[in-house]
Amino acid sequence: MDLNLIHSPDSYIRRCILATLSYLSQHESISAAVLELKSFAQLVALHKREYGIPPSKRLLNDSYGGYVSPPAGLEVIGRDRRQMHRQVEARKHAKAMMAYQVKVLLIGSGDSGKSTLLKKMRLWHIYESESFSAQEIESYRQHVFGDLTRGLQCLLDAFPDMDLQLPPVYTYVYPEDDPQHRGGYVKGWAPGEGIGLDEDSKGVKPDKLSTDVELIKSTPDLCDGEPFPLKYLGPLQRLWGEEVLRFAWARRNETGLQEDLQYFFSDLPRLFDPAYVPTSEDILHTRERTTGIMEMTIKLLEHEILLIDVSGQRSERRKWTHCFQDVTSILFFVNLSWYDQCLFEDRNVNRMQDAMTIWDSICNSPWLKQTSIILVLTEYDIFQEKIKRSEIRTFFPVRIFLSVPLDFDGEPENAVQGRDYFKKRFRRLARKAGPKDREICVHTTNTGDTEPLVVLSAVGE
């Protein structure tokens, strides 16, 4: 190469060589070799004497304290290269985070216990989860009032299907051993306070049962900070204490009503206190329907767990497939007490059978062939009490011919045998659908358990 061309300040070759070597020198592995070239060092020194290079254009330390700046066009290319490098690094970081983050999908029909698990985690600050805000607590307070009025209304609406009728007037027949009702009054409220047998705070005579029913059916939503209207306290107490409603409540499995309704009706005076604030137990017993998708992030050991709660209502299930990508584990929730209940949306469908149908579709999903599945059987304590008065064999299986033997052959009141029976049913469906070596973990929880610790420990494993 003719060095005169290089040393000439106006040489096009000089500018190109200088720009190219300056760009290459941005890479540490190349810059060291470039600086060792004697001709390049001379070129840089000459360029330094002839041109002033601003510090902001620094691209190369030439080991003499001078700096080299490439032409504008090449500088733009350099910026693009650096941007591409940052994008590559960002993708690497995202991939590393995916290895660090565990994506867990919570699936199950409505009232299966999915949302209750998330509530417990937030109430007890488990795994660095956030607690409830003041606005969220206020929302739950309004939910309590809605659960009372809508729950009672749903029970009344089910009367035609049960072949039941309301009497024209209140009968006020209570069991003698019922501590909640003495002489027609609710525990905690003395006669003369306006909510007993005589009349309520608005002067409504209790013999007008239809008046109370109409009031309950026209309940408005509460505003923020608005106490429970006292005019509803008397009707709620009287209707809940009516004999025919007690009889209907005993048959609640035919209506799809939530079991938590009795929890709130057993403590009405506390709820109607103007200063009432929901307790942790109240929040756990509220039942608001999950719509859409809810996410929550927690820390467990060295992993970050992203919990995704998808709505279990029939109309929402078509959205589940959008959440299946990159799922690490699935927590599938089944309420054991469902075995004798019908769906709220369709009273002709057994809730446990519906759960098995969903389970079968999950196990057969091509998106989830390599995904671990954890079956969570909830409310075992309620199941233990219910099985004493409602036999499993009455509902499983549905027999077409009397000669077909019953699938459940355990003792009618044996809760352990009943629980194990449903475990086998779900495992049998999983074996038919998925890989033979797929392991299905099963956890049984009670309503009062610290079940987030129990269930999520399986995810950590």
**Binding site: what residues are annotated?**
115, 284-290, 309-313
Query: 191: which strand partners?
Result: none
- Output the 3-class SS for 373-403: EEEEEECHHHHHHHCCCCCHHHCCCCCCCCC
Other Cβ atoms within 10 Å of 412 Cβ, number:
14
Beta carbons of 298 and 126 less than 8 angstroms apart: yes
Binding site residues for GTP, as ranges?
A: 284-290, 309-313
Cα radius of gyration (the chain):
35
How many other CB atoms are found less than 10 A from the CB of residue 353? 17
- One-letter amino acid of 427: R
Helices then strands (H, E): number in the chain?
18, 8
Question: β-pairing, 185-186 with 181-182?
Answer: antiparallel
| Nearest Cα to Cα of residue 332 among 361, 305, 304 | 361
Contact 414, 407 (CB under 8 A): no
Annotated binding-site positions for Mg(2+)? 115, 290
Contacts of 226 (CB under 8 A, 6+ apart): none
CA 163 to chain centre: 38
The dihedral built from the CA positions of residue 296, 297, 299 and 302, taken in this order, carries a sign that is positive
Instruction: Tell me the residue ranges of DSSP E strands in 240-381.
Output: 293-300, 303-310, 329-335, 372-378
- CA dist 319 → 109, 117, 184, 276, 336 (Å): 14, 21, 49, 38, 25
Residue in this structure with the two tokens 């137990």, named with its chain if needed: 281
DSSP assignment letter at 248: H
In a 10 Å sphere around its CB, with 0-12 CB exposed, 13-18 middle and 19+ buried, how is residue 10 labelled? Answer: exposed
